[in-house]
Amino acid sequence: MSPAAAARATSFAATFSASNAPSSRGLLHRPFRGTPARRRAVASMAVSAPRSSAAASFLERRESERALHFVKYQGLGNDFIMVDNRDSAEPKVTPEEVAKLCDRNFGIGADGVIFVMPGVNGADYTMRIFNSDGSEPEMCGNGVRCFARFIAEIENLKGTHSFKIHTGAGLIIPEIHNDGKVKVDMGQPILNGLDVPTKLPSTKNEAVVQAELAIDGLAWHVTCVSMGNPHCVTFGAKELKDLHVDDLKLSDIGPKFEHHEMFPARTNTEFVQVLSRSHLKMRVWERGAGATLACGTGACAVVVAAVLEGRAERKCVVELPGGPLEIEWREDNNHVYMTGPAEAVFYGSIVH
């Protein structure tokens, strides 16, 4: 590495007062599309050089140019731009800027942007998330695990910790384990069709279980569940007895579920293959984000739907394209628990 490059290399965690970033991560600076060419991208993967006055002045210059500092996290390939927003109750970027940040060619690239904000109503923190299209969902299962790990990093917490997080879906309580995984109490599933919401008629008490939904000439059997955000779960159609999820063209069929008139708030859609009564395989089309490698609330909804349809036990491994999640729908308190990984990918700053 040249002396100039070494001077630039520094852990972005230094910008967080209590963060201890591993020495293998680097600082990424990338201008938005349309930023003048003189703002040249600077990147380095080596961060062993000590923080120098040159590096400090570099960060100060970035601050003066409205740099947004961030950490990129991923949970089973569902990736998020994490922003420390604890000093304000308003997000540091607009929904339009979020869409630019999430662009994988002209921005950082992510499925969404998550802001760590001051807690309200007795919660330790508030989580706000925006999808890659700039829309704001109620919450995100994989995102809340990343949120918890990010909190532990910026607060310099070690060992097992739990937090009360205020979200658009209510109070969520994640717990960080020593093995690096995060277990999240996702609360109780909402089964009343009107509250999901869906216009499909109830088929089981007030729940929508194995109802028929017509799409592209097929009568899909769907079960609707809300985990604070709406989900439509299907194990197949009347004309398609054996669903092989790897054969689906999600980009074709996913939007037709998402924007179907039966879902007034749009919907996330999970296509599920039963491998055994304790092992389910799913692919997901997320509202506002499209096909993603994982969806935590979706995995929870899948187990609830599988139990309601008599296809699975209350404790299952749900296999997603990005990896497995452990899901349990407890009978004693009706809460759904999700356990899975979350990890930091890189640190950086971007002019916005």
Would you name the residues annotated as active-site residues? 140, 295
Is 45 in contact with 26 (CB distance < 8 Å)? yes
Neighbour tally for 278: CB within 10 Å: 12
Can the peptide bond before residue 197 be classed as cis, meaning omega within 30 degrees of 0?
A: yes
Strands (E), the chain: 27-31, 42-43, 67-75, 78-84, 112-118, 125-131, 161-162, 165-167, 170-176, 182-185, 211-215, 218-226, 230-237, 268-276, 279-286, 290-292, 315-320, 323-329, 336-340, 343-351
Among 313, 324, 298, residue whose Cα is nearest residue 186: 298
Q: What DSSP line would sit under 165-217, residue for residue?
A: EEETTEEEEEEE-TTS-EEEE--PPB-BGGGTT--SPPSBTTB--SEEEEETT
| Residue 199, C-beta contacts closer than 8 angstroms, at least 6 positions apart | 193, 261, 262, 263, 264
